Amino acid sequence: MDIYLVGGAVRDKRLGYPYSEKDWVVVGARPEDLQAQGFTPVGKDFPVFLHPQTGEEYALARTERKTAPGYTGFQFHTAPDVTLEQDLARRDLTINAMAENERGELVDPYGGARDLDAHLLRHVSPAFSEDPVRILRVARFAARYHHLGFTVAEDTLALMRDMVASGEVDHLVPERVWKEMERALGERDPQVFIQCLRDCGALARVLPEVDALFGVPQRPEHHPEVDTGMHCLMVLEQAAQLTEDTRVRFAALIHDLGKGVTPTEEWPRHIGHEQRSLPLVDALCERITAPKDYRRLARLAAEYHTHGHRALELKPSTILKLLKAADAFRKPVQFEQFLLCCEADARGRTGFEDRDYPQADYLRGALKACQAIDNREIAAQGHTGKAFGEALDRERLARLSEFKASRAF
């Protein structure tokens, strides 16, 4: 029985990139051999075991055979005579198909170290095309390692395009799309994930509402980049620089979906795109099973981001409407997320990347002015029920008027 460290830990160790999880492959063993040593079986589809001390995953070496469309359509085979090279051959990318033996020596039958040095994401074999999830994984790795100069190999990109053309990508299940997308949103350069999907044609199948934004012009005085799709990629990039919160990043990406359905005769103006965005946000979130908190923030950003940009000129009554729509009094964290979306939108434009965004602090100050109200004083005036809410809103308006006057130039 031989044990090898495999996959991401080997890759990131050689890159000098931080990693926490370790995966192991066991060659020349049967399930009962591991169980006899105290390993706990956890795998449903193939033999995977947890180490009795470390809790790390140990999998028996296996091969796989395509039996049906999609990422679940595989038949796995494990046996003591399955070699390490056979196990590594089923992996997606050469940089993920390296192993280390117990002496720390590299086993690299498919040139992963060479591709690491060349900063290339390259498929191991034509079997790559049998699993559509691999398109999402490649795009995610492109987002993770973009800052190191990694790109997708041309032959791999061509294979991904063939998978889209053949319809293999259409067999992706929504839950897996969301899982990969959420992980990609958490990477250093999440906009590269979207660009990679667009480069291979998968974006039109996975996120058609986002793909529809490319080629749609905007007014150049407000958007020097002109193209709406490029704007949304730039907004996502800015969001990633502002926060690690994947909810903010998701909302930033899809805040302008309504521009994709603006009648062409109205281009480059997009009056009313905020309201047009809402059903598209709902449809996208429903299809990819995005969690409710992601959808709430995405809807809020889509409907009210222009209110954020115009904050300094809004009437107190409109500011109060915005605060209530954002549920800022009960969910101040969500309101802060909204402000980050607005700031990312303002900066996600060619030449505007470093612009100040005083609107955010202005709205934070407006919320703080309202939060200073002592609800007990209003209740002491005898107000209850609906009357209490109306009295509270009157006081909020008064405080907002004072706040606006104090900030006037």
pLDDT in tens, 287-323: 999 999 999 999 999 999 999 999 999 999 999 999 9
For residue 265, being part of any structural domain is answered with: no
Closest CA to 206 of 151, 133, 138: 133
Output the pLDDT for position 71.
58
Question: Mean pLDDT across the stretch 243-258?
Answer: 98
Lowest mean pLDDT among 66-80, 202-216, 334-348: 66-80
More confident residue, 382 or 39: 39
Q: What percent of the chain has pLDDT over 70?
A: 98
CATH number at residue 75: 3.30.460.10
Question: Does the pLDDT value for residue 374 go beyond 80?
Answer: yes
- Residue 408, pLDDT above cutoff 80: no
| Region 266-273 average pLDDT | 97
Q: What's the pLDDT at 74?
A: 63
The reported pLDDT for the residue numbered 76 is: 83
Residue 344 in this model has a pLDDT that exceeds 80? yes
Residue 39 lies in a domain: yes
What integer is the mean pLDDT of 14-25? 92
pLDDT band of residue 67 (cuts 50, 70, 90) is: low
pLDDT tier, 409 (very low <50, low <70, confident <90, very high otherwise): low
Residue 86: inside a domain:
yes
Lowest average pLDDT, out of 70-74, 134-138, 195-199, goes to 70-74
pTM to 2 decimals? 0.93
On whether residue 17 sits in a domain, the answer given is yes
- Is residue 390 in a domain? yes
pLDDT tier at 21, thresholds 50, 70, 90? confident
Of residues 380 and 111, more confidently modeled: 111
What's the rounded Cα separation, in Å, for the pair 378 and 311? 28
Backbone phi, psi, residue 134, to 5°: -65, -25
**Helix-, strand-, coil-residue percentages of the chain, each rounded to 5:** 55, 10, 35
**pLDDT tens column, 48-66:** 999 999 999 999 999 987 6
Show which of 67, 91, 110 is a domain's final residue: 110
pLDDT for 72? 59
Q: Is 399 domain-assigned?
A: yes
Q: What is the mean pLDDT of the chain?
A: 95
Of 89, 110, 131, which residue sits at a domain end?
A: 110
Q: Are 281 and 301 in contact (CB under 8 A)?
A: no
In a domain, 55, yes or no: yes
Structure tokens at 366: 């407006």
Q: Which long-range contacts (CB under 8 A, 24 or more apart) does 386-391 make?
A: none
177-196 pLDDT tens trace: 999 999 999 999 999 999 99
**What pLDDT does 69 receive?**
64
pLDDT at 182: 98
CA dist 235 and 193 (Å) reads 14
The domain of 395 spans 372-406
For residue 357, the SS3 value is: coil
Task: Please say which residue of 87, 110, 133 terminates a domain.
Answer: 110
Q: Number of structural domains, the chain?
A: 2
Residue 87 forms part of a structural domain: yes
